[in-house]
Structure 1
Amino acid sequence: MNQITPKKLKMRWAWLAILPVAIATSQCTLSPPQLSPLAHAQAQEANLRILSVTGQGTETLPTTIAMISLAVEVQGATAKAVQQDMAQRSSDLVSFLETQAIDQLETTGIRLNPRYDYRNNRQLLVGYTATNRVRFEIAVDDAGEILDNAVAAGATRIDNIQFRATDEAIATAQRQALRAATLDAQSQADAVLDTLGLSRQAIVGIQVNNASTPLPPPTTLQSLRAVAESDVATTPVRGGDQDIRANVTLQIRY
């Protein structure tokens, strides 16, 4: 039989004394911190004191690339004759363009449509129209000359010309527009807060809207042959400016 000696009894009393302390410590560790009513009210007020402001930035840069869409259009009595004529002229035009300093040459559409006339409430087939459209990019300074030469190579119509800046110039302008929009948002916030006798404390939120790059409106010429037959030595082509816009929204605690 095990006897409880005074030494063992003393050790048991020591463990019983330590156990409540350990339990209390564990409970204190697991309990979430409680904010005082004043601290809770101050935290709520800080969340409410947020100013949201949107700044705008715009960078204007010159366009240096012309995006040209032109076409070969042929009319005739039969579908076969029209298609063959259009194919030959289109081949001559594309062969010419491939020798020029252009980029992104592509065919954007080929059509063969019947033409009708209406007489005495009757629909009469009078022929066919075939169209082959191509698109390419070229430096603005060379656009006028290539339009004139395209007529001799077989082009009969230009659908439109649009202008844009280079990808590198657009990327640089986008960054500058974002910087300008950020400064504009900060300036607006300072103007409002200064008027109210307040000041910026911290920026707690940032929203960046992608910079937009709208193209200038297209220039349309209905007849290249009329231009080529005029007294103008070279068709004048002038690129416009392109605006790069950006918006930045800041949420500012004051």
Structure 2
Amino acid sequence: MRPSLLARPALAVFLLAGSLGLAHADDLKRSISITGEASVSAKPDVAYVSIGVENAGKVANEVLAANSKTTGDVLAALKGAGIDAKDLQTSGFTVQPQILRPQNSSLSSSDDSPSITGYTVANTVNVTLHDLPKLGDVLDKAVTAGANSIDGIQFDVSNPSALLDDARKAALADARRKAQIYADAAGLKLGKLVELSENAGPVVGAVYRARMATAAVPIESGSNTLNVTVSVRFELDE
């Protein structure tokens, strides 16, 4: 399917150096500077998701052991669902004490000192999924294995180069079209292109967050938009 290209208006600036009596000879050429923009929509083909396991208890070693076992089960479930080991990366691991702070503390009383009541252990793994139709099933398997945190699912286009090339052509055409309108309005002819610069980048698609998910997880990847903006300068002739 041919991508849809959307253009947005931008501000044009005439550089009529010929009207400046003190300008150098190289600056006397009339010109117009303007921006052109274009967007292309693309269906994502890769997803990134953080899957975590969090445990709490009174004894640190016991909580750590429980978290390690569950995290191992989750990793095994992900690999069993077809996720390659290179697409699994630990992104966070914490062991934190749970501290009880008395509401009515007194500096003169040692009984009102903060006390540790337990520990929380969390382990988070970043997952890259290249088969998007399997995403819901992968999340279901992870939760079944013991994951209790699913956060920040992001969808992306793995190879946007060809799509950006279409947007680049459309952005330059947009800039030329607008420059021609201003040239015609000024009674001048649009000359050669003398300057061009680009600013290109993707717009992040939808983000899905879930905690303690159960049953099959319905996921919609939607579409991502990649934008290109070009800044150009054309000479203007009589």
TM-score range, shorter chain: 0.7 to 0.9
The reply on whether 1:117 has 2:109 as its aligned counterpart is: no
SS at match of 2:211: coil
The separation in 2 between residues aligned to 1:160 and 1:251, in whole angstroms, is 41
Aligned-partner Cα distance in 2 for 1:46–1:157: 62
Opposite residue 196 of structure 2, the aligned amino acid is I
CA distance in 2, matches of 1:61, 1:183: 21
The 3 A distance-change label for structure 1 pair 87 and 197 is: same
Distance in 2 between the 1:94 and 1:58 partners?
Answer: 38
Q: CA separation of 1:106/1:89 partners in 2, compared to 1, >3 Å: closer, same or farther? A: same
Structure 1 or 2: more strand by fraction: 2
Measured against aligned partners, the alpha-carbon deviations of 1:70-118 in whole angstroms (never above 9, x if no partner) come to 1010011111011111111111111221233335211101110001222
Q: Which amino acid aligns with 2:100?
A: D
Match of 1:221 among 210, 213, 226: 210
Matches of residues 61-210 of structure 1 in structure 2 within 5 Å? Answer: 61-103=42-84, 104-119=87-102, 120-121=104-105, 122=112, 123-138=114-129, 139-167=131-159, 170-209=160-199
The whole-number CA distance in structure 2 between the counterparts of 1:76 and 1:46 is: 75
Aligned-residue Cα RMSD (Å) equals 2.0
Percentage identity across aligned positions? 27
- Amino acid in the other structure paired with 2:142: A
What is the total number of aligned residue pairs between the two structures? 204
Larger of the two Rg values belongs to structure: 1
Higher helix share: 1
In structure 2, stretches of 5+ residues that fail to align are 1-21, 106-111
Local SS of the residue matching 1:237: coil
The residue number in structure 2 matching 1:251 is: 233
Aligned to 2:4: none
Q: Residues 140 and 238 of structure 1 are in contact (CA less than 8 Å); yes or no, is this contact kept in structure 2?
A: no
Please list every run of 5 or more consecutive structure 1 residues that lacks an aligned counterpart in the other structure.
1-40, 229-233
CA deviation map 1:139-182 (0-9, x unaligned): 22111111111112121111221111232xx1111111111110
Shift in Å, 1:222: 2.2
In the alignment, is residue 236 of structure 1 matched against residue 228 of structure 2?
Answer: no
Letter of the structure 1 residue corresponding to residue 209 of structure 2: T
TM-score, normalising length: structure 2: 0.80
